[in-house]
Amino acid sequence: MWEWLSDKYDLLATWIFETAIQPALYSLGLMDWAEDAFTWVGFFLFGLVQVAVVYAICRPLEAWRPVEPHQDRRFIRTDILYTLLTRLGVLPLIGFVIFFSADAWLAGAMADSGWIPPNLEEFFPVLRDVPWLAMLVYIVVIDFFEYWRHRFQHTFGWWWALHSIHHAQQHMSFWTDDRNHILDDVLQAAWLGALAVLIGVPPGQFPVILTVLRVAESLSHANTRIHFGRLGERLFVSPRFHRLHHGVLGAGATGRNYAVLFPVWDWVFGTANFDRERFPATGDPEAPQAYVTGGWLRQQWEGVRQVVLALLGRRRNLPARVPEGD
């Protein structure tokens, strides 16, 4: 199945490149960039599929049961720009380049040394014969480490200086998922790429796993009054569950609901809030004004300035503390 999809994907990327990109490069005398341009086409197409899937799922839900019926579209447009730059631009290259480069280097090192490092399939041989189960296990493992990456974003002052751009949004929507500083995106790409290589994620499954995580994260940020019920809320992160994390009295005051896909990590580590009735206002009252009303470029510049202030111990907007109990 994955091989068939990969073949069709490669055929479409090749057609786009040969039809639109290659002639333009030739006419401009830029054929030295042909290989890089072909790689970018693949990532552009992958990002386009992600955006289309997310929009098809989340936009009807926001129209059906919005938490905020009348959002200020000026700020939503900034988040749309974040999404397009993140998923259709150069940024997606970072994670894939790290992943495939590390995977190729590791394969070469193993061939030279004759040593094969252990991965999940070594510990659980059944995963070799059941690809869908293997992918599910990889998703669970990656989600566990994503929970801790998110906790670290709220723990270290310099990292919170970057991540608080994400929390400054007062009109949260499914576009808000990609509202991140570019340095934060680089850190996430390196984190995911290194982790995927370490646990032995097959190259063909890595894009699928990323798509699952991205769709889940976009849904959790959606402006929709939806929860998954008493049992469902404990199985998967819902828009209600994650909105409590973004609430004005949520992340900033109590540090709750960090999970990306599975709330079990919040339950295990004591950071879960399963209150199904609350859909609080979102935002960070202590965030710099540029984070709230500024455009993409202004927010990126302000993020660099805030990181410097945090490293010098002069930033006043501190990370959220993790509660000791309910």
* Residue 203 included in any domain: yes
The whole-angstrom separation of Cα 309 and Cα 287 is: 13
Is residue 169 in a domain? yes
Is 299 part of any domain? yes
Of 41-55, 111-125, 274-288, where does mean pLDDT reach its minimum? 111-125
Are residues 242 and 257 in contact, defined by beta-carbon separation less than 8 angstroms? yes
Residue 257 lies in a domain: yes
- pTM (2 d.p.): 0.83
Residue 124 has a pLDDT of: 76
CA distance 19 to 126: 44
CA atoms within 13 A of residue 191's CA, in its CB half-sphere: 19
Residue at token pair 């959002």: 71
Please tell me whether residue 286 adopts helix, strand or coil conformation: coil
Please report whether residue 317 resides in a domain: no
Please report whether residue 322 resides in a domain.
no
Distance CA 23, CA 271 (A): 54
Dihedral sign computed on CA atoms, order 41, 44, 50, 51 = negative
- Whether 319 maps to a domain, the answer reads no
Tell me: the pLDDT tens digits for 274-295?
887 778 889 988 899 999 999 9
Q: What is the pLDDT of residues 226-261, one digit of tens each?
A: 989 889 999 999 999 999 999 875 444 457 899 999
| Residue 281 in tokens | 């206002």
The amino acid at residue 111 is A
Tell me whether residue 324 is in a domain.
no
Number of independent structural domains in the chain: 1
Domain holding 26, by residue range, is: 2-311
